[in-house]
Amino acid sequence: MDKGNEYYDRFLQGDKDALGQLVSVYNQRLILFLFGLVQDWETAQDLAADTFCYLLVKKPSFREEAKFKTWLFRIAKNKAIDFLRKQRRYPEISVDGAEFDLPHFDLPEMRLEKEETNRKLYAALQTLPQNYRSVLTLLYFEDMSYKQAAQVLKKSVKQIKNDAYRARQALR
């Protein structure tokens, strides 16, 4: 069950620990989602931190039109889009030969095998177009419904279903 709404309400009422609980619940997920958009771990981590800073400073109201998780991921996606727009205007010089390397998480042994499978899957996802990566990440790694993914990506449910089908076919 998504307790994000409860934590956020407590944070808005002045409970400082509630924001920490939000970060602990959603930070890793946001970073993985943002990585699929920006293709850089440090940038994804910075954008996730920016998303939580936005909640801390602006304290936007959550109208409960969707789940809290969907709302939070939409904020993060908008932050990533803003970053990518700035990158296009002011491109950085990239280092040739830089290799993609997933960070190593210290996880219990039971979760290690799942993480290895996820790493392989993330590597396979990197071969897909960005819109397919986003759809699959939201549907399978974030356990969002088609409707929630459609809200985050600002597409129709039918477009999400089509993209998910095409992405699965491309992965095969």
Residues 48-99 pLDDT 10s: 999 999 998 888 888 778 889 999 999 999 999 999 998 888 776 555 555 5
- Average pLDDT score over residue span 8-19: 89
Name the amino acid, one letter, at 65.
E
Write the CB contacts of 50 (distance below 8 Å, at least 6 apart in sequence): 79
Under DSSP, is residue 88 helix (H, G, I), strand (E, B) or coil? Answer: helix
* pTM confidence score: 0.61
Q: What are 99-156's pLDDT values in tens digits?
A: 555 555 554 665 677 777 777 877 888 888 988 888 988 988 888 999 999 999 999 9
Long-range contacts, 160-169 (Cβ 8 Å, 24+) = 160/135, 163/131, 163/132, 163/135, 164/135, 164/136, 164/139, 166/132, 167/128, 167/132, 167/133, 167/135, 167/136, 168/136
CA atoms within 13 A on the CB side of 172: 5
Helix and strand numbers, DSSP H then E, in the chain? 8, 0
Instruction: Give yes or no for a contact between 2 and 42, defined as CB atoms under 8 angstroms apart.
Output: no
Residues 59, 18 contacting (CB under 8 angstroms): no
Place of tokens 């002045």: 14
